């Protein structure tokens, strides 16, 4: 029963955060054009791409708890389990990348990533959900759930598509509005911005490999019956 309860709890926390954000968080934007972007222009923030992705993953996990299987090596793996595992391979590096990047810049110079005009409208707990518990939840998941990673080419292709899609969105909004959503990027010229993007993507790919390795580490998920459908240890 632990896994279904855990997954439902994470879904509740993330869903409430999404609802609260859309209803109450009036984040000021660096240009008027952002006000016309759907979802209150949250698609400009990698943080919110991460939050939506994490929520989607944990919904799949709960559906798998109910309709799929958490067995280590099922004879016939349900589609929901395969989809869940593939999305995990993407959700893990994205969560850690967001956390590492945000707090690295935050402790260097807070105004570059979380200026006061944003901090004034984002409650403390909201910032924690967006930039701390996203990684905590997914790290717990890797040690308590059965995760079968896709082949590395497939997994890295998913990560590449996600990263390129976000960068396309970020750059397109910059071209349309005339301003970067992140103050940090306003300090860079084009080559430096490109290098910044490449470094971030390389960090994400490194974290992908880390998640792949951690998913194979023996842990409490070996305990008989720990995650519901497990019938025996490895």
Say what the pLDDT of residue 75 is: 83
Give the domain extent around 209. 2-222
How far is residue 93's CA from residue 101's CA, in Å, rounded to a whole number?
12
Domain count, the chain: 1
Segment 128-178, tens digit of pLDDT: 999 999 999 999 999 999 999 999 999 999 999 999 999 999 999 999 999
Instruction: Please state the pTM of the whole predicted model.
Output: 0.91
Residue 200 is assigned to a structural domain of this protein: yes
Residue 41 lies in a domain: yes
pLDDT digits (tens, 9 = 90+) for 183-224: 999 999 999 999 999 999 999 999 999 999 999 887 655 544
pLDDT score for 57 = 99
**Are the CB atoms for 65 and 228 separated by under 8 Å?**
yes
**Interatomic CA distance for residues 92 and 97, integer angstroms:** 9
Residue 233 lies in a domain: no
At residue 151, φ and ψ (nearest 5 deg) are -60, 150
Is the residue at 232 inside a domain? no
Exposure string for 207-232, b = 16+ CB within 10 A, e = fewer = bbeebbeebeeeeebeeeebbebbee
Contacts of 125 (CB under 8 A, 6+ apart): none
Question: Which strand (E) or helix (H) includes residue 121?
Answer: none
Answer whether residue 234 is part of any domain: no
């Amino acid at each position: 029963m632990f896994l279904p309860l855990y997954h439902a709890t994470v879904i509740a926390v993330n869903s409430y955060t999404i609802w609260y954000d859309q209803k109450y968080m009036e984040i000021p934007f660096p240009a008027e054009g952002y006000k016309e972007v759907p979802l209150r222009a949250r698609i400009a923030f990698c943080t919110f791409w991460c939050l939506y992705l994490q929520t989607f993953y944990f919904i799949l996990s709960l559906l798998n708890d109910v309709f799929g299987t958490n067995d280590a090596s099922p004879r016939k793996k349900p589609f929901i389990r395969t989809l869940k595992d593939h999305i995990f391979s993407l959700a893990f590096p994205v969560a850690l990348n967001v956390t590492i990047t945000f707090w690295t810049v935050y402790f260097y110079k807070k105004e570059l990533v979380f200026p006061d005009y944003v901090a004034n409208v984002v409650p403390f707990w909201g910032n924690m959900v967006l930039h701390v518990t996203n990684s905590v939840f997914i790290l717990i998941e890797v040690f308590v759930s059965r995760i079968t990673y896709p082949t590395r080419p497939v997994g890295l292709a998913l990560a590449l598509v996600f990263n390129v899609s976000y960068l396309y969105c970020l750059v397109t909004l910059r071209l349309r509005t005339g301003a970067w959503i992140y103050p940090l990027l306003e300090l860079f010229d084009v080559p430096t911005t490109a290098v910044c993007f490449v470094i971030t993507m390389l960090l994400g790919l490194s974290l992908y490999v880390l998640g792949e390795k951690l998913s194979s580490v023996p842990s409490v998920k070996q305990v008989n019956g720990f995650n519901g459908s497990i019938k025996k240890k490895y």
